[in-house]
Amino acid sequence: MQTTNHKALEIEKVASSQLHKLQEISRQTFHETFASQNSEEDMAKYLDEGLSLHKLHMELDSLSSAFYFAYIEDQIAGYLKVNWGDSQTENHDKDAFEIERIYILKSFQGSGIGQSLFDFSLKLAKDRGANYVWLGVWEFNHKARSFYTKNGFTEFGKHIFNLGQDRQTDVLMKLQLK
Ligand SMILES: CC(C)(COP(=O)(O)OP(=O)(O)OC[C@H]1O[C@@H](n2cnc3c(N)ncnc32)[C@H](O)[C@@H]1OP(=O)(O)O)[C@@H](O)C(=O)NCCC(=O)NCCS
């Protein structure tokens, strides 16, 4: 178990046996973040396909990805998904490290948990000897974009993310470590 400087916060690797809990928080946080700006059909399609038990199970079993839960007093408050090597969603640079998802439940946002998960992911990247950390963030997700900018990330490109039938533009951002 990993602890952070946040008093009541614990960050722990998600075990295969926690698949259903992972799906629950993945779906809830995705819905809370994006439902107001996207159609119900596109949301339903992504929640069913992008966050299916089958897909999450494969991702949990991958040797080049990891999920972590952030717990506040035994309650799951958010989660992190990171990828390296072949599991990176787009860039297979072996010296790179991807933060694919940092999601905090709405009721827990604004109290430093996102920052702690982010700091933790940087430590994981450094432990792996990564040259840089990168991520994709929806162009209209202003909150997350400013969060990453504040943490030193700069934009270096764009890619397309399919949310249901909607082709959306993600801004690619990176932070050089070496
Ligand atoms: C973005 C997110 C991860 C931030 O986590 P959080 O726990 O709410 O943020 P924190 O409380 O740790 O805040 C971290 C820092 O970012 C700053 N911050 C938070 N929201 C911000 C915003 N809208 N604009 C600018 N800075 C912001 C905080 O002021 C804080 O800085 P400080 O330590 O100097 O005060 C969280 O809001 C979230 O889960 N959003 C929905 C999911 C999402 O969009 N994820 C990213 C896409 S993959």
pLDDT at res. 92? 75
What atom of ligand 1 comes closest to residue 116's alpha carbon? 12
Tell me the pLDDT tens digit for each residue of 111-141. Answer: 999 999 999 999 999 999 999 999 999 999 9
CA of 115 to the centre of ligand 1 (A): 7
CA of 146 to the centre of ligand 1 (A): 8
Mean pLDDT score, 9-26: 98
CB atoms within 10 A of CB 41: 11
- Residues identified as active-site: 148
pLDDT surpasses 70 at 1: no
pLDDT at res. 169? 96
Domain over 2-176 is classified CATH 3.40.50.300 = no
CB 79 less than 6 A from any atom of ligand 1: no
pLDDT surpasses 90 at 28: yes
Residues 6 or more apart whose Cβ sits within 8 Å of residue 156: 134, 172, 173, 174
CB 28 less than 6 A from any atom of ligand 1: no
Residues 6 or more apart whose Cβ sits within 8 Å of residue 3: 9, 10, 11
Which of the two residues, 165 and 11, has the higher pLDDT score?
11
CA of 29 to the centre of ligand 1 (A): 14
What atom of ligand 1 comes closest to residue 111's alpha carbon? 11
pLDDT surpasses 90 at 3: no
pLDDT surpasses 90 at 66: yes
CB 68 less than 6 A from any atom of ligand 1: no
- On the 0-12 / 13-18 / 19+ scale of CB atoms within 10 A, 74 is exposed
What atom of ligand 1 comes closest to residue 104's alpha carbon? 39
Token reading at 37: 């700006």
> What percentage of the chain carries pLDDT values higher than 90?
91
**96: pLDDT confidence band, cut at 50, 70 and 90?**
very high
